[in-house]
Amino acid sequence: MKKMIGAAVCALMMIAAGGSAMAQDGDEDDYTFTLYNNSSSTILTFRLVAKNDDSWSEDLIPNNVIESGDELYMTFNPNEDECEYATAVTLSDGSEFADVIDYCGIDGVAVDDDGIRAY
């Protein structure tokens, strides 16, 4: 079974909406962003691992999937002042994409048929 990253995922909120990966009211440590599914498949899993950790987080959307064309507003609590996280997604067509994303100051993460990227 996958191990959960310490504080990286202790606060996770998901609501369909937009946002940016900046501190939010009430908890200045949280990163928020919108996960966009611009691929032709459904996103089944979304996982993170901090640069100094060696284990991927649990799936951050365990009770949801993100259909093609949909988006999901997400929040997570990072490890200390960490900005960069290896980020991995699994799609319903069997594709898996991973890349290192700097979550400090981004508006969103987009998944398409060619990979995953921040903007």
pLDDT tens for each residue of 11-52: 232 222 233 344 334 446 788 999 999 999 999 999 999 877
Amino acid identity of 28? E
Q: Tokens representing 25?
A: 């009211």
Q: Specify whether the backbone of 29 is left (phi greater than 0), alpha (psi in -120 to 50) or beta.
A: alpha
Q: Residue 76: pLDDT band by 50, 70, 90 thresholds?
A: confident
H-helix or E-strand containing 74?
strand 71-76
pLDDT tens for each residue of 82-95: 899 999 999 999 99
pTM of the model: 0.74
Domains in the chain: ranges and CATH: 13-118 (2.60.40)
State the chain's maximal CA–CA distance in angstroms: 39
